[in-house]
């Protein structure tokens, strides 16, 4: 009896934490939260009633029994194991009743994350749906078991394709890297600008960007996510969490969390894509932090291409590479207010990703100063100028830089409108 009482008290404490987390959510989200709370507090019912497939109703998170998930993963055997994170171990499984292949995350009770993160992840992914966010199919909360059931992302994480590649694994080519960068940016843009209330991801890193068929990227692992500041508040004060090497400096030192903290982390991921280096690598001694290692080359325009991942073997358009580095520089500004918003980042990366690299026509993807913009009617006097000559805390002209990023995006969209009825091959490789 005392054990049961203690368990219920624990859940009460956890639910109070979650209620504090979502106290500023608007009225139209209250039904979803009510359903999440009700489902998570009825663990005894979950063990006795057959699970229902409620995944089509975003306000009612679907549930699975522990037995069903154990069967799906061959009792969580080693051959089903596919990865590990802060939450626990991840297994590949196949649901008997639907035949669907899924990824099952099983909470490690001795790990860094626990019941509060489990609750937050269920809530976030119940409320949030987007092509660049991983889909939560359901969960299990029987007794002390905590499991999350996701869509299976067949190509693993971005981290798996950038670092410590086995000899038989092909490195990502330039076009794929840019597609992944643009897609991940869209997921973050949705969280910051379209979700209501806005969401701060707080743990963006290459390991949390999963890749599906065709290398389609999706953000995953929302256990540390926070709802953004409400009212006239400028930030959320919180215990510093996240992954070393990705944390924004102002968040790491003060615990003041804003959407700009995510943008810094995205800049680190972008540098990973460009360089192939880990965000933090103890093998490099003093240069173990990627941003610090890259800093001298980022300051010197003549050395920027030295950043390029050797595994690219020089197969990338130099001017597009430099512009992408410029975007990373903007994201990595020391002062949070100098970083762009994700809408600006998406506008820039959409354009840059559209400049496909063709090794047989290597010059077709290059950005040739004002020449590419002459048909748009846009003032192009600054297009060819370097955005990131002054790095990080040295004071980039943010307004000019963001204006250029917007200009890239607007010019790209204008070209698409003008060429809607034209052959793709006639536009300098823009759509090929």
Q: For residue 134, what are the CA distances in angstroms to 32, 81, 182, 364?
A: 19, 19, 16, 34
Q: For residue 23, what are the CA distances in angstroms to 219, 257, 285, 396?
A: 25, 17, 44, 38
3-state SS assignment for residue 33: helix
Kindly report the backbone phi and psi dihedral angles of residue 137, in degrees, each rounded to the nearest multiple of 5, phi listed first. Answer: -85, -30
168 is an active site residue: no
Sign of CA dihedral 12, 13, 18, 22: positive
Question: Does a cis peptide bond (omega within 30 degrees of 0) precede residue 403?
Answer: no
- CB < 8 Å & 24+ apart, contacts of 237-240: none
Residue 124: closest CA among 202, 49, 213, 72: 202
The DSSP element (H or E) to which 26 belongs, if any, is none
* Residue 106 assigned to a binding site: yes
Query: How far apart are alpha carbons 120 and 202 in whole angstroms?
Result: 13
3-state SS assignment for residue 142: coil
Catalytic residue among 59, 160, 203, 282: 203
Most distant CA atoms of the chain, gap in Å = 77
Which residues are annotated binding-site positions for ATP? 106
Binding site residue list:
106
Catalytic residues: 203
């Amino acid at each position: 009896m005392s054990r049961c009482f203690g368990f219920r008290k624990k859940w009460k404490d956890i639910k109070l934490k979650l209620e504090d987390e979502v106290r500023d959510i608007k009225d139209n989200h209250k039904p979803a939260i009510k359903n999440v709370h009700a489902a998570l507090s009825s663990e005894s019912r979950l063990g006795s009633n057959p699970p229902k497939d409620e995944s089509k109703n975003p306000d009612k998170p679907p549930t699975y029994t522990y037995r069903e998930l154990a069967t799906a993963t061959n009792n969580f055997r080693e051959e089903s194991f596919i990865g590990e994170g802060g939450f626990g171990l991840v297994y590949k499984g196949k649901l008997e009743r639907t035949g669907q292949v899924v990824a099952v995350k099983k909470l490690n009770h001795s790990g860094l994350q626990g019941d509060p993160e489990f609750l937050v992840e269920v809530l976030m992914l119940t409320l949030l749906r987007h092509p660049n966010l991983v889909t939560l199919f359901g969960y299990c909360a029987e007794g002390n078991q905590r499991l999350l059931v996701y869509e299976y992302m067949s190509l693993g994480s971005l981290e798996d394709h950038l670092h410590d590649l086995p000899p038989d694994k092909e490195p990502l080519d330039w076009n794929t890297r840019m597609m992944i960068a643009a897609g991940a940016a869209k997921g973050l843009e949705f969280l910051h600008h379209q979700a209501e209330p806005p969401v701060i991801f707080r743990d963006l890193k290459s390991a949390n960007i999963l890749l599906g068929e065709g290398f389609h990227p999706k953000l995953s692992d929302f256990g540390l996510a926070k709802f953004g500041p409400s009212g006239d508040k400028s930030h959320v004060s919180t215990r510093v969490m996240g992954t070393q090497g990705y944390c924004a400096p102002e968040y790491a030192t003060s615990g003041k969390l804003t959407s700009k903290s995510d943008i810094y982390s995205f800049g680190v991921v972008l540098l990973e894509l460009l360089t192939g280096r880990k965000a933090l690598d103890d093998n490099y001694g003093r240069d173990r932090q990627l941003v610090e290692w890259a800093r001298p080359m980022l300051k010197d325009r003549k050395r920027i291409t030295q950043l390029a991942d050797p595994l690219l073997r020089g197969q990338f358009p130099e001017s597009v590479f430099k512009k992408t580095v410029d975007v990373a520089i903007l994201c990595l500004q020391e002062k949070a207010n100098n970083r762009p918003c994700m809408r600006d980042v998406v506008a820039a990366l959409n354009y840059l990703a559209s400049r496909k690299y063709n090794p047989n026509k290597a010059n077709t993807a290059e950005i040739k100063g004002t020449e590419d913009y002459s048909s748009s009617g846009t003032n192009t006097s600054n297009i060819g100028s370097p955005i990131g000559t002054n790095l990080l805390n040295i004071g980039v002209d943010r307004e000019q830089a963001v204006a250029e990023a917007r200009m890239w995006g607007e010019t790209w969209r204008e070209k698409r409108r003008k060429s809607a009825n034209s052959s793709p091959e006639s536009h300098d490789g823009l759509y090929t």
